Amino acid sequence: MPYNLPATRLLMNRLRQVMAEDGDTRFRLDQVVRIIASTMVADVCSIYLRLTDGALLLIATEGLKPEAVSATRLGSNEGLVGLVARRAEPMAIQDAPRHPSFSYRPETGEDPFHAFLGMPILRGGRVLGVLTVQNRTERAYGDDEIDTLQTIAMVLAEIVDRMDPEHMSNGDGTKKERNLASLSGRVLCEGLGYGRAVLHDPVVPAAKFFAADQNLEAQRLKDALRGLKDSIDQMMALDGAALGDDPRDVMETYRLLAHDPSWAEKLREGVRSGLSAEASVDRARREHRARLQSARDPYLRERLNDLEDLDNRLLRVLAGDDGKPQISEERSVLVARRLGPAELLDYANAGLRAILMEEAAVSSHAAIVARALGIPTLGGIEGLTTRVDQGDWVIVDAEKGVLHIRPDDTLYDAYKGRVALRSERQATYAALRGLPAKTKDGTHVSLYLNAGLDLDLDMLDQAGADGVGLFRTEFQFLVSETLPRLNDQVALYKRVLEKADGKRVIFRTVDLGGDKVLPALNLKREENPALGWRSIRFALDHKGLFRRQLRALVRAAGTGPLTVMFPMVTVPSEFFEARDLLMKEVAWSEDQTGKKPSKLEVGVMLETPALAFSLSELAGQADFLSVGTNDLMQFFFAADRMTPSVSDRYDLVSPAALRFLKQVSETCADHSIRMSACGEATASPLSALCFLSLGFHALSMPAGAIGPVKRMVRSVNLGAFREDFLKVLDAPDDAFRNQVLALAADHGVELSDG
């Protein structure tokens, strides 16, 4: 029988019947290999299961000797089957015995077979096994046969993933109880959480793989594609007045991908072969994800990420309300490959116990939103979405940066003990809330809150903060599909000032670019965006957008005080140009409304080392300076903070970094420039202690860090500690951090972390 589309449909229909039938796993697999062999006119069809040690066990066959099932075991590097598993991609060979990787196993009786087609059985990029067909004659397998076998492998993944090879020999096919697994990640928001995994990315269950009515599925796919295109076209219909004439390359590329006829035709082809609309999209998603696993070119990875995002969007359109993650009233832990800030905010009131992300850095805007929500969060967990299944129980240790999947009773008991200890610590910090942050020798320290959303301000009094030392205004841009209008910005800034209730709020103007990508404004792909067209550079080149924000800040302040600072200033002229624009808006407001801020303070962020050598030019011009540790340290050490392999390699608590900050402090003192520090580094009591010793007496940090830092402040005699600290800084040894820790212990300083 020639291989054609009707044969493919017949195969899919027969597989759908098998999937719907009751019966043990062994019986169903035997049926599957018989159906594939007969429909594809193959002499052999076999399924191999990948074991924990990488070996491949024959678990079902049609055409090889039956006694080889559960007896033939190939090493991870053995034979063509092993090669398919290693490469995680299909292999079609006309004359297998001549291939250098061919391995002859006499117990299978495979002597007469020549043509070989092997397909990896993948789930989330993880190889679960290999599906093969063989023929006696030498022949070339066609693309349609390869596509069909790939679809069958997708179906088999749902069966094979839960099989226990120890029970295959007796035909039991017992469902495998998956073992405990522990993965490492980066702490994005500290805390502890326990609950059932809820997958953010749409999941297509095996029951929905096959089309009962192909015409209906074709229409569903057509309607969903139209809905997807319309939604993306709406995203493109932005208010572009503030953008000038620059092309919106990234969003246009995304739109072109959605309108790509080859992508749509690939999906329609899947439906014509007998797949449901969801399964056809899922097959494309698996292909994109598998290619992403091996892609090294940054541009290709970017496009494959876009394609996978489109796949997920289309699956959600197809599913409607059913496609939304189901957050139950009991404990739920959200699991995602990556999340944008807007997506994360959708879960703000869902009662999540923790958040897990495969792709996220400590300083990403998703991490900042997680901290604002106060939900324990881990990011940068390699292989997360391939290791966690819907409904798995997980323990999230966002203190040590460890995820425990399917924990046993011993781990759970230890977790409960950790929760009790954490509650005791939190009670200790809460008792300090109304007390001043004053050292034993009388130095007052101002502890401010880092914020980016108005919900952050709810923590202001609860944390005992003196005000907001860093309000990241770009978040209003990042969580919206369109540019926020003037009135929307005014409303946000007014709410922030009202919630602060007279406490100082330092607004940082828009810091877009780098890791903070707004689709409508990310105009050109850059090789090194952290060093590129971003922050104040971007704002000064988009004066319409920038002046609109400055006008909103002035209008929100009314006749009250206003404090503004400009980010990533590299040379003094950038500060002067930005300040002049602000003063024009103040003058415009006074002329048009008769109102202007009662007190206006304009500051500068020190985030580039170059500015540290121009501070004398800012004397009498800038009202204050704030050290932004996140960017400053990545530029100082030439280590991208978004790259896990180097972001943790260098330590702020090191002689070079602290000597540089000491120089900054002394220069500011010489020129009477008030100074403070903000960023992730200030959240550590040890780092905060170093800042205090260098003369920084105003620190801004996440809400959860204020209690531990205040406890440290109240325990130290700063004058005595500073004297010894500077001696150590002048003569450090190779373990400088340990030197500082030992010094703190000698002085009785209470540090809750290292």
Quick check: 167 pLDDT over 60?
no
Band (pLDDT 50/70/90 cuts) for residue 1 is very low
Helix axes 685-693, 736-746, angle to 10 degrees: 80
Band (pLDDT 50/70/90 cuts) for residue 511 is confident
Q: Angle at CA 663, nearest 5°, toward 662 and 669?
A: 90
Instruction: Report which of residues 638 and 648 the model is more confident about.
Output: 638
Band (pLDDT 50/70/90 cuts) for residue 364 is low
Band (pLDDT 50/70/90 cuts) for residue 180 is confident
Lowest mean pLDDT among 277-281, 360-364, 486-490: 360-364
Q: What CATH superfamily is the domain 206-323?
A: PtsI, HPr-binding domain (1.10.274.10)
Mean local confidence (pLDDT), 102-130: 86
| CATH numeric code, 5-167 | 3.30.450.40
What are the sequence ranges of the domains in the chain? 5-167, 181-200+325-422, 206-323, 432-746
- Give the CATH fold of the 432-746 domain: TIM Barrel (3.20.20)
> Average model confidence (pLDDT) for the chain?
84
Band (pLDDT 50/70/90 cuts) for residue 346 is confident
Mean local confidence (pLDDT), 343-364: 79
Residue with tokens 């996140």: 630
Which residues lie closer than 8 Å to 155 by C-beta, 6 or more apart?
A: 15, 19, 206, 209
Quick check: 662 pLDDT over 90?
yes
Coil, strand or helix at 480: coil
Lowest mean pLDDT among 16-25, 94-103, 644-653: 16-25
Q: Count of residues for the chain?
A: 754
Closest CA to 287 of 269, 265, 311: 311
Lowest mean pLDDT among 103-107, 155-159, 648-652: 155-159
Quick check: 236 pLDDT over 60?
no
The percent of residues above 90 in pLDDT, for the chain, comes to 44
Quick check: 299 pLDDT over 60?
no
- Sheet of strand 181-184: strand arrangement: 181-184, 402-405, 393-398, 191-199, 332-336, 354-357, 377-379, 186-189
Tell me the pLDDT tens digit for each residue of 78-103.
Answer: 999 999 998 888 999 999 999 999 98
Evaluate whether 33 touches 61 at the Cβ level (below 8 Å). yes
Which residues lie closer than 8 Å to 216 by C-beta, 6 or more apart?
A: none
Quick check: 304 pLDDT over 70?
no
Band (pLDDT 50/70/90 cuts) for residue 725 is very high
Residue 188: both structure tokens together: 């994005």
- Residue by residue, DSSP assigns 301-316 as HHHHHHHHHHHHHHHH
Q: What is the largest CA-CA distance in the chain?
A: 95
The percent of residues above 70 in pLDDT, for the chain, comes to 82
Lowest mean pLDDT among 78-92, 291-305, 326-340: 291-305
Give the pLDDT confidence score for residue 245 in this predicted structure. Answer: 35
Architecture of the domain whose range is 181-200+325-422: 3-Layer(bba) Sandwich (3.50)
Tell me the pLDDT tens digit for each residue of 420-462.
Answer: 888 888 888 888 988 999 999 999 999 999 988 777 888 888 8
Residue 295: both structure tokens together: 């892609």
Tell me the pLDDT tens digit for each residue of 368-384.
Answer: 778 778 889 999 898 88
Tell me the pLDDT tens digit for each residue of 200-221.
Answer: 887 777 667 777 788 898 999 9
Quick check: 469 pLDDT over 50?
yes
Mean local confidence (pLDDT), 742-750: 95
